[in-house]
Amino acid sequence: MAIKKLKPVTSAQRGMTKDAFEDITKKTPEKSLVRIAKKSAGRNAQGKITVRHRGGGAKRKYRMVSFKNPVIGRVKVVAIEYDPNRSARLALVETEDGKKYYVIAPQKVKVGGTIEFGEEAEVRIGNRLPLAKIPTGTVVYNVELVPGGGAKLARSAGTSVQILAKEGRFAHLKLPSGEVRLIEAAAYASVGMVSNPDHANIKIGKAGRKRHMGIRPTVLGKSMNPVDHPHGGGEGHSPVGLTQPKTPWGAPALGFKTRNRKKKSNKLIIKSRKK
C-alpha cells in the first residue's frame, strides 16, 4: 500500500494524506457475502449510549469475514478488496467447487496465489494451522484465544504476534501491546502479518473527515459547566482540582484500575503490557 499526499487546494488539505488503494484489485464487493449493517450510534439493546461520540457517517455494508477455517484444504485468492469496516484488506478466496469466502489478507498475498487451511498446511505466508505446528520465532496473525473460537487477536492492519516458546499444551505469544501470554497450542493462527501496514501513517487532516467515519466531536470536561461534568466550572479553563480525575458520571478515570483481580485469564498472562 502507498500513501498519497494531496496537492493542497484548501488549508485543510495541506497536511492530509490518503490511501492510494494500489493493492485493490476489485472495486465492488461479492454480493453473496455482503449484509446490511444497521447503525447503533453507540447505543446498546436498551437504547442507552454505552460508547460516546458515535453517530452519523457514511453508509457502509458489512462483509461476512471468516475468522474460523472456511474449509480444510487449499483455496485460490481471487481478489484483494477494501473493507470499510476494518483497517486491513480482505482476500476473496474460492474453493475448487466454486464457493467463495472473505478472509483477512496477509502482506505479500497476490491474486492467483493459494492459501491452505488445516493441520497439514505448509508453514507459508497466509496459511492457517495450529500453533503447535508452527515453529518458534514465527510471526502470525488472526490468532484464536480459545481453540475453535475463531480469530480474536492481531486482526488490524500491519499487526502480528510472535511465538516465543512452547511449553506443554501452551504456546507463549508476544502480542502487539507487548504482553506475553499463554494460549493453547491447539488454537489456530495464520502465518505472516496483516496487510495494509501504512494505515497508521494516514493523516486525517480535517474534522469533516472524522464525521464521515461516524465519529462525533469530543468536548473537554473542564469546558463544561459544573452541572454537566465534575471538571466543569471556574473562570476560563481551570485545572481538574480533584484528587482523582472523573468521568462525566463521577466514576474515577485516567489510570484507575478496573480489571478484576479474580479474572480467570490473569493466570495466563506471563508479562503485562503495563510497565
pLDDT digits (tens, 9 = 90+) for 76-91: 999 999 999 999 999 9
In a domain, 256, yes or no: no
| Backbone phi and psi for residue 100, each to the nearest 5 degrees, phi listed first | -115, 145
Task: Take residue 187 and report the three cell numbers written for it.
Answer: 488454537
Domain count, the chain: 1
Is 265 inside any structural domain? no
Q: Is pLDDT at 113 greater than 70 in this prediction?
A: yes
The band of 67, judged by pLDDT with boundaries at 50, 70 and 90, is: very high
**pLDDT at 181 (0 to 100):** 93
Residue 234 lies in a domain: no
Per-chain mean pLDDT for the chain: 91
Strands 170-174 and 143-144: unpaired
- Read off the pLDDT of each residue in 39-57 and give the average, rounded to a whole number: 92
Q: Is the pLDDT of residue 104 over 70?
A: yes
The answer to whether position 253 is within a domain reads no
pLDDT at residue 1, rounded to an integer: 55
In a domain, 124, yes or no: yes
- Examine residue 274 and state whether it is found in any structural domain, yes or no: no
Share of the chain above pLDDT 70, in %: 99
- The CATH number assigned to the domain holding 26 equals 2.40.50.140
Domain-located, residue 144: yes
Query: Is 145 a member of any domain?
Result: yes
The span from the CA of 172 to the CA of 157, in Å, is: 22
Decide if 175 contacts 161 (C-beta within 8 A): yes
Range of the domain at 189: 3-200
- pLDDT category of residue 264 using cuts at 50, 70 and 90: confident
Sequence-separated contacts (24+) of 143-146 with Cβ below 8 Å: 143/173, 143/183, 143/187, 143/188, 143/189, 144/183, 144/187, 144/188, 144/189, 145/183, 145/187, 146/184, 146/187
In three-state secondary structure terms, 84 is: coil
C-alpha cell at 35: 449484509
Confidence tier at 241 by pLDDT (50, 70, 90) = confident
Spatial distance between the Cα atoms of 56 and 209, rounded to a whole number of angstroms: 12
Residue-wise pLDDT for 157-216, tens only, equals 999 999 999 988 999 999 999 999 999 999 999 999 999 999 999 999 999 999 999 999
